[in-house]
RNA sequence: GUGAAUGUAGCUCAAGGGUUAGAGCGCCGGACUGUGGCUCCGGAGGCUGGGGGUUCGAGACCCCUCAUUCACCCCA
């Protein structure tokens, strides 16, 4: 449909009236990251397609069918970033950040692009908040990453989230486990769903999160990766678990939890909200100790997560969590008698006053359409103005004005000279929830 | 990529195959140019998602297409 007036599939317009929700969540992110010692990093929305092939993995669904990849005018194959981690890893190496004090702790915030069928909580352009720690191989880093996510959710008032945890081992123990899994499933090949039969050779770990009814009994009895960890991985995992318990961080051990990206090692986790329907994963992450090497760098450990902000906003809605309202108009200057005796002198004076208020730090506005006082009051009300002051020939002459508190209708007398100061003190005492 | 449901005004929805497609809310204006919320009155706003077909006649029925929503797959 060649409609000029339609946005591309799977994208959203964030309208002015809902923007304060985004700003609030973004402020919460910056605050929690500062407290945990993470610095923001901004990487391009486009990267060389090869970067994702080398990191995310060529045989993952994400790369096989979900990326926006195109050739630019110079013949380069570029990909619109489908996730944040590879770009951060690339920037880390390219800028020599491994020479700065370790560990390196970053966060990022911005749009990701995946060509998928949109549905509840799933978009072709969505916004992710992610963190990465490079150069910290111990389980304390895993803890820190999980803790910052949970702290972020709690700061928004979200508590009904469940943390799912698993460990999928490392290059020294995973191949053997993988083979054990293949052997197990091969013996039951006939009972598997067609999807699983296809995935068996290619990516056997994926069979563990099959949702097909018939595969459930097999899945329950399947050998778990946790039982096949090498000593190092097992120690890492048990230490992490005791740390989590020490912090009272509830989690569910989920041996069927696997991730769709190739670079994960050892710890993987998801944070899930039940009320979102099928797309309930609000945060997904884990450890990726081989990632930096995959990009061509030295061996540097990594751990992090991505949080889908659209899903977080959706969760806040479902949980009926009220966010502070937008700042809005704080003081509206209504012009009286402009048609009659006012003239340019009045208009000029109103403009002066308006700019004075704005310079004083007050969100002030006035009427520029020459409307009746009644219309101006109505407009101020609709715009949510907290205070209104009427300025006309009388006020100019006497220097006396009345500031009206819109929520209560109460009026406070003052002088034109003190207007900004009085407005400020009134705003300070006017509760946010008055309206 | 697969399956299902739904597309009518900015939003939520009416209109049993039959005049000029309506209502509520919202928007703009008037009653009301020195005070908002209430009330009354008026106005703007529609290629009924798009294309084809059936019919004397289609918003409605059929086909295609596009979009939205939900689910699968996968993920945040």
pLDDT of residue A433 exceeding 80:
no
Is the peptide bond between A90 and the residue preceding it cis, with omega within 30 degrees of 0?
no
- pLDDT confidence of residue A61: 80
pLDDT digits (tens, 9 = 90+) for A310-334: 999 999 988 889 888 888 899 999 9
- In A119-189 the beta strands, taken as DSSP E runs, fall at 125-134, 162-167
Residue-averaged pLDDT of chain A: 90
Record the tokens describing residue A213, joined without a space. 């009814």
Q: What is the mean pLDDT of residues A115-122?
A: 90
pLDDT digits (tens, 9 = 90+) for A348-400: 899 999 999 999 999 999 998 888 899 999 999 999 999 999 999 999 999 99
Query: Tell me, what DSSP letter sits at residue A119?
Result: B
Q: What is the mean pLDDT of residues A132-159?
A: 96
Percent of chain A with pLDDT over 90: 62
Q: What is the mean pLDDT of residues A205-221?
A: 77
- pLDDT confidence of residue A75: 94
> Does the CB of A26 sit below 7 A from strand B?
no
pTM confidence score: 0.91
> Does the CB of A390 sit below 7 A from strand B?
yes
Alpha helices in A259-372 (DSSP H): 291-294, 309-318, 343-359
- pLDDT confidence of residue A339: 52
pLDDT of residue A340 exceeding 60:
no
pLDDT of residue A423 exceeding 90:
yes
Q: Which of residues 260-319 of A touch strand B (CB under 7 A)?
A: 260-261, 270, 277-284, 306-308, 310-311
Q: For chain B, which bases have at least one atom within 7 A of a protein Cβ?
A: 1-3, 26-37, 49-50, 65-76
> Does the CB of A123 sit below 7 A from strand B?
yes
Q: From the CB of residue A350, how many other CB atoms can be counted at a distance below 10 Å? A: 20
Q: What is the mean pLDDT of residues A56-81?
A: 88
ipTM above 0.85 for this complex:
yes
> Does the CB of A407 sit below 7 A from strand B?
yes
pLDDT of residue A435 exceeding 70:
no
Sheet of strand A400-405, all strands in order from the earlier edge strand to the far edge: A364-366, A331-335, A387-391, A400-405, A411-415
pLDDT of residue A59 exceeding 50:
yes
pLDDT digits (tens, 9 = 90+) for A230-245: 999 999 999 999 999 9
């Amino acid at each position: 449909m060649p409609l000029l007036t339609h946005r591309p599939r799977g994208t959203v317009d964030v309208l002015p009236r809902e923007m304060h929700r985004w700003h609030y969540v973004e402020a919460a992110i910056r605050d929690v990251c500062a407290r945990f010692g993470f610095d923001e990093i901004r990487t391009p929305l486009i990267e060389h397609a090869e970067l994702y092939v080398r990191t995310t993995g060529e045989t993952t669904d994400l790369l096989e069918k979900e990326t926006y990849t195109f050739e630019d005018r110079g013949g380069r194959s570029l990909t619109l970033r489908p996730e944040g981690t590879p770009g951060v890893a690339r920037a880390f190496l390219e800028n020599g950040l491994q020479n700065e004090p370790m560990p390196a702790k970053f966060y990022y915030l911005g749009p990701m692009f995946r060509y998928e069928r949109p549905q509840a909580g799933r978009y072709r352009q969505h916004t992710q908040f992610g963190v990465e720690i490079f150069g910290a191989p111990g389980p304390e880093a895993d803890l820190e990453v999980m803790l910052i996510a949970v702290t972020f959710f709690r700061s928004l008032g979200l508590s009904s989230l469940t943390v799912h945890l698993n460990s999928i081992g490392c290059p020294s123990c995973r191949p053997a486990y993988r083979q054990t899994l293949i052997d197990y499933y091969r013996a039951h090949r006939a009972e598997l769903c067609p999807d699983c039969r296809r995935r068996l050779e290619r990516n056997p770990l994926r069979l563990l999160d099959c949702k097909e009814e018939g595969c459930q009994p097999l899945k329950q009895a399947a050998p778990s990766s946790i039982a096949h960890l090498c000593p190092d991985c097992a120690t890492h995992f048990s230490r992490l678990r005791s740390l989590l318990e020490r912090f009272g961080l509830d989690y569910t051990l989920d041996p069927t939890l696997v991730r769709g990206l190739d670079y994960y090692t050892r710890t993987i986790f998801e944070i899930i909200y039940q009320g979102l329907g099928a797309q309930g994963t609000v945060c997904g992450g884990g450890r990726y100790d081989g990632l930096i090497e995959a990009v061509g760098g030295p061996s540097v450990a990594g751990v992090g997560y991505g949080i889908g902000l659209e899903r977080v906003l959706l969760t806040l809605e479902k949980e009926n969590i009220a966010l502070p309202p937008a700042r809005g108009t704080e003081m509206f200057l209504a012009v009286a008698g402009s048609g009659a005796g006012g003239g340019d002198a009045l208009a000029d004076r109103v403009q002066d006053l308006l700019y004075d208020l704005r310079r004083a730090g007050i969100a002030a506005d006035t009427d520029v359409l020459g409307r009746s006082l009644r219309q101006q009051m109505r407009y101020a009300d609709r715009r949510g103005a907290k205070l209104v002051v009427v300025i006309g020939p009388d006020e100019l002459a006497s220097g006396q004005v009345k500031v009206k508190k819109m929520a209560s209708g109460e009026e406070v007398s003052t002088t034109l000279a003190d207007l900004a100061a009085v407005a400020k003190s009134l705003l300070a005492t006017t509760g946010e929830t008055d309206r």
